[in-house]
Each structure stands twice: as structure tokens, then as C-alpha cells.
Amino acid sequence: MCGVFGIFGHPEAANMAYLGLHALQHRGQEACGIVSTDGERLYSHRAMGRVQAAFDPQALTSLHGDRAIGHVRYSTAGGSHLKNAQPIGVDWARGSLAVAHNGNLTNFEALRDRLEARGSIFQTVADTESVLHLIALSQVEDPEGRIADALGQLEGAYSILFLDERRLIAARDPLGIRPLCLGIIEHDDRTGYVIASEPTAFDLIGARLVRDVLPGELIIIDEGGMRSSFPFRRAERKMCLFEYVYFARPDSILEGANVYEVRKALGRRLAVEQPLPPGEGEAVVVPVPDSGVPAAIGFAGQSGLPFEMGLIRSHYVGRTFIEPQQSIRHFGVRLKLNPNRAAIEGKRVIVVDDSIVRGTTSRKIVKMIRDAGAREVHVRISSPPTRWPCYYGIDTPTRAELIASTHDLQEISQYLTADSVGYLSLEGLVNGVRSVEAPARVGTPGGSTPPGPDSYCHACFSGSYPVPFTPSSPPRHLRMLP
């Protein structure tokens, strides 16, 4: 999971990109970068770490021009090194070109082998670089056609931005697995365009959401304005369900649906499907903050039980799931959460979280709550069991490391030391998302027909992959922009 941001037609493009990336920081904390242009050349700054630390006033001042693209990264294909940070930029025979990509290319290994056989030399181990080589080798004459030709050879998930000296180009794969949104920004008497992984990036800079970039859509923005086309094979949309469950910020709107309202709806369905077992004593609903809060609100409202902040989060620690090192992920539980004894002591506690991956974090949370005096601890998860890895841009573990792929419900409960464990069903998840998304999509571009039950990617829950996966291996090593 990464975040991309693009802006065209604003005199402070680099500053706007910086703010947009700050709003997308939850999508990647490992590296970040911005490439800008003044119409003559491209300017680049990339660094490891988070946006606020990576960009100082001097770095932003060096990024000239009224158009820019940016990226926040955590690694899926390619390791945690500066050379793999994005946007990746190159100088080539037709000028300069930079690319920022969210997703994962499932045919990367086959593409790399074919490109290397034709003489391409790779400088990074990121699958995104292969797109630049495909563009350089394309026989199509016009720049937009070359990009469409290259993207037509990709398989997997991509929400992707390109920037050259004249234009900003955005594209979303034909299945629409990863989100991408289009907005406009007003400055003086000029209207500019913005594109981002989530519309929360628009709010911070005063831009307005227009719509989602549609699956299979190619958008070109230049001095003449904006135009779009659909050059790829049409397919049924397969939006990632885990975006709604965990990844997107709760104040985002994806495919017309407010993520916060979706998560509350999932909590209400969870309360119906997995209610608290009968027992003695006062019961409270406690979220695992922050991502479990909306679902816990929905669960509490549906079940008529009080909602309590039984776990207090330190906001000086990042989202542990996307930290690059496993050791940090485990240690982060103690750094991030502390039980609120006054809210849970002597009570039957229903702990609501968005997912269980390995189970190590959930086990520590259950232990913390018990140590704080809870009478019972019942774990409720607002998504189905995660049994399969994701190959479309999320760094989930192998099947052997996913607790739900190797343990049944009783074994998971025993491992967590919980009194009970309950998951939302896949049907409940799909219907929960549809209940919020479908009404909102009616009347939007390309959205007059409400999404069907099969218009989502749920491979991590079901093992049903919309795009075949070809295992990729790191490549060996266009002149890269500094």
C-alpha cells in the first residue's frame, strides 16, 4: 500500500504536493518523494522516512514549477532502500519522465525477463521501473499512446501517475483495485487539477473532490485542460475491500462511500452476526484505536451496550501494521496502547478490531485487558478471517504466517487467550460496504448502476484472486534522475 498525489496548474505545486502527501502519510511511512516541473525540466527530491522529516523549506524551494507528483511508500516489490523510493524519474530520448505507483504488478517477473532480454538495465528492484522501460521501448509515436501501450502490458493493480515537462497523466487499472480520485483546486482566476489516492489529500489544500478515476480510465492533463479515454480491456470493477476495512482514512470517500459510515455499518452487522454470549456482569464495547473505533461505535449502537475507550493510544507512534521491520511491529503494541482500567475493570469486555493477521498483536491486547482487571474478554473482528496473502499492493505475510489459514476459530480463541472470537462474514462485509456505497454512486460518472456483490476484490479473505499471480524475484540492475 502506497499513496500518490499529483497537481497541475498551481504556482505552489511542490508545497501543495507536500501537504497532500502529509494527508496520505497513513498509506506509507517508509519513504517519500516529489518530482516537479516548470515546463523545461524535472526537479526531484526523495528521502527515507516520513514527509515532515524528509522535506525542509530548502528542499521544497528547489522543486520549481506549477505541476508535481508525489509518493509515500512502504515496500511490497523491492526492499526498503532510497533507490526504490518514488517517484522514479528518468531522462530519455524524448525528454524526462517520472512515475509514482500504488499497487503491485503480478507479471513483474515475466516483464523483467523480457525487458532484460531486449537490453534493458534495471537500477531499482521496484516493479514500477518496468513501466518506464516499456514506455521507452514502445513503437507508438505520441506520448499518451506510449503510456497506454505500456500500461496495456501490465497485470495486477496500479493507480499510477506520470509527469513529463508538459503533462500530468493518471491511470487506474481496469479492475480498479486501488483507489484514485480526481479533484479541482482554484487559485486566483485559474483552475488546477489534483489527483490522489484518497480525497483527504484534497481537504488539506482546499481542493474539491470531483469524482473517482474510473477503472481502466486514462486521464491526461495539460495546458489545454483535462481529457480522458478508456484504452484498456473493460472488466468488472474489483475494488479492494480491505481499503474500507483498514487502509483508507475514515474521513475518506471511496467510490462515493464515506469510509467512516462503512465501518460503522460493518460494526452493526458484526453485532448481529456475532453478539456477546449470555453471561453475568456489566458488558462494555471497547475499540482497538484508531481503526477499530467506527466499527465499535456501530457494534455498541446495534447491541445497546455502552461504548468505552478502554484502550488509550499514544499518537506519537505510527500505524504498526505498515512498519517495515517485524521487530518494530511487535514492540509497537506496548508503545502504542495502554489499558484504561477505570473503563474495563470487573466488566465483560467486547474488544472490536478491524482484522487479525498473525494474531501476535491481538494476543498482547487481550493480555493487557485481562491484566487491567477485565472479567471476560470477547474479541470481535469487523472483517472475515484473513487467510490468503495479497499480491496487489499490500505486504501481508505468507499463508503459513496468517493465523486464520492454519487455525480454526476455537484454536484462534485459545491462542489469543480470549473467552470468544467472532468474525464478520464475507457476505456481511460485502453487504455492509454496498449499503453505504450503492446509494451514493447512483448518478455519478460511470456509477449509475449500483455495484454488484462480485465487484470487490476479497482475495485475502476468500482466496479468489481476480488477477493470476506470478511470483516475482528481485531484478538485477535510462539514467535515473537524482
Tens of pLDDT, residue by residue over 330-373, are 466 767 899 999 999 999 999 999 999 999 999 999 999 999 99
pLDDT computed for residue 275 by the predictor: 98
Strand, coil or helix: what is 76? Answer: coil
Nearest to 240 by CA among 198, 208, 211, 209: 198
Strand, coil or helix: what is 41? Answer: coil
Check pLDDT > 60 for residue 470.
no
Cα separation, 261 vs 301, whole angstroms: 13
Percent pLDDT > 70 in the chain is: 89
The average confidence (pLDDT) of the chain is 90
pLDDT computed for residue 469 by the predictor: 61
Helix (H) or strand (E) holding 414: helix 409-416
Question: At 411, which amino acid appears?
Answer: E
Check pLDDT > 50 for residue 146.
yes
pLDDT computed for residue 438 by the predictor: 64
Q: Is 291 annotated as ligand-binding?
A: yes
pLDDT computed for residue 234 by the predictor: 81
Cα separation, 64 vs 66, whole angstroms: 7
Burial 255-273 (b: 16+ CB within 10 A, else e): bbbbbbbbbbbbbbbbbee
Question: At 219, which amino acid appears?
Answer: I
Check pLDDT > 60 for residue 131.
yes
Residues 320 and 372 reside in one and the same domain: yes
Burial 88-98 (b: 16+ CB within 10 A, else e): bbbeeeeebbb
* Domain membership flag for residue 61: yes
* Domain membership flag for residue 435: no
* Mean pLDDT score, 411-435: 97
Q: State the sign of the Cα–Cα–Cα–Cα dihedral 440, 444, 447, 449.
A: positive
pLDDT per residue as tens digits for the range 62-117 = 999 999 999 999 865 555 678 889 999 999 888 999 999 999 999 999 999 999 99
* Mean pLDDT score, 227-240: 92
pLDDT computed for residue 201 by the predictor: 97
Residues 310 and 374 reside in one and the same domain: yes
Residues 141 and 263 reside in one and the same domain: no
Strand, coil or helix: what is 185? Answer: strand
* Mean pLDDT score, 19-35: 96
Cα separation, 116 vs 121, whole angstroms: 6
Query: Cα dist. 400→76, 333, 389 in Å?
Result: 18, 22, 10
* Mean pLDDT score, 169-174: 97
* Domain membership flag for residue 246: no
Looking at per-residue pLDDT, the higher value among 376 and 478 belongs to 376
Residues 358 and 410 reside in one and the same domain: yes
Check pLDDT > 70 for residue 441.
no
Q: How confident is the model at residue 445 (pLDDT cuts 50, 70, 90)?
A: very low
Task: State residue 365 phi and psi, 5-degree precision.
Answer: -65, -45
Task: State residue 421 phi and psi, 5-degree precision.
Answer: -135, 135
Query: Which parts of 125-282 fold into alpha helices (H)?
Result: 129-137, 143-151, 200-205, 241-242, 259-273
Residues 200 and 333 reside in one and the same domain: no
Domain that holds residue 296: 253-430
Residues 196 and 286 reside in one and the same domain: no
* Mean pLDDT score, 417-431: 97
Residues 230 and 317 reside in one and the same domain: no
Q: How many CA atoms lie within 13 A of 34 on its CB side?
A: 32
* Mean pLDDT score, 288-317: 94
Q: Is 142 annotated as ligand-binding?
A: no
Helix, strand, coil % (nearest 5) of the chain?
35, 25, 40
pLDDT computed for residue 327 by the predictor: 57
pLDDT computed for residue 148 by the predictor: 96
Sequence-distant (6+) residues with CB within 8 A of 409 are 421, 423
* Domain membership flag for residue 133: yes
Residues 201 and 290 reside in one and the same domain: no
Cα separation, 21 vs 44, whole angstroms: 15
Question: At 181, which amino acid appears?
Answer: C
Check pLDDT > 50 for residue 124.
yes
Residues 80 and 123 reside in one and the same domain: yes
Least confident of 51-60, 162-171, 183-192, 467-476: 467-476
Q: What is the CATH number of the domain that holds 133?
A: 3.60.20.10
Q: How confident is the model at residue 322 (pLDDT cuts 50, 70, 90)?
A: low
Q: Is 460 annotated as ligand-binding?
A: yes
Residues 366 and 312 reside in one and the same domain: yes
* Domain membership flag for residue 441: no
Query: Measured over all CA atoms, what is the biggest interatomic distance in the chain, rounded to whole angstroms?
Result: 75
Q: Is 181 annotated as ligand-binding?
A: no
Residues 285 and 417 reside in one and the same domain: yes
Check pLDDT > 70 for residue 481.
no
* Mean pLDDT score, 310-326: 68
Residues 215 and 136 reside in one and the same domain: yes
Nearest to 159 by CA among 27, 352, 334, 275: 27
* Domain membership flag for residue 170: yes
Query: Cα dist. 148→134, 160, 178, 217, 275 in Å?
Result: 10, 12, 18, 10, 50
Check pLDDT > 80 for residue 428.
yes
* Domain membership flag for residue 476: yes
* Number of structural domains in the chain: 2
pLDDT computed for residue 323 by the predictor: 54
Helix (H) or strand (E) holding 460: helix 459-462
pLDDT computed for residue 75 by the predictor: 65
pLDDT computed for residue 454 by the predictor: 79
* Strand 376-381 with 348-353, pairing: parallel
pLDDT computed for residue 82 by the predictor: 87
pLDDT computed for residue 397 by the predictor: 74
* Best mean pLDDT range from 3-17, 134-148, 430-444: 3-17
pLDDT computed for residue 439 by the predictor: 62
Q: What is the CATH number of the domain that holds 426?
A: 3.40.50.2020
Q: State the sign of the Cα–Cα–Cα–Cα dihedral 92, 94, 95, 98.
A: negative
- pTM to 2 decimals? 0.90
Tell the residue number behind the cell numbers 464515506, with chain if given. 258
The neighbour count for residue 177, using CB atoms within 10 Å, is 28
* Mean pLDDT score, 110-139: 91
* Best mean pLDDT range from 46-55, 437-446, 453-462: 46-55
Q: How many CA atoms lie within 13 A of 302 on its CB side?
A: 19
Cα separation, 452 vs 236, whole angstroms: 9
Active-site amino acid positions: 2
* Domain membership flag for residue 208: yes
Check pLDDT > 90 for residue 448.
no
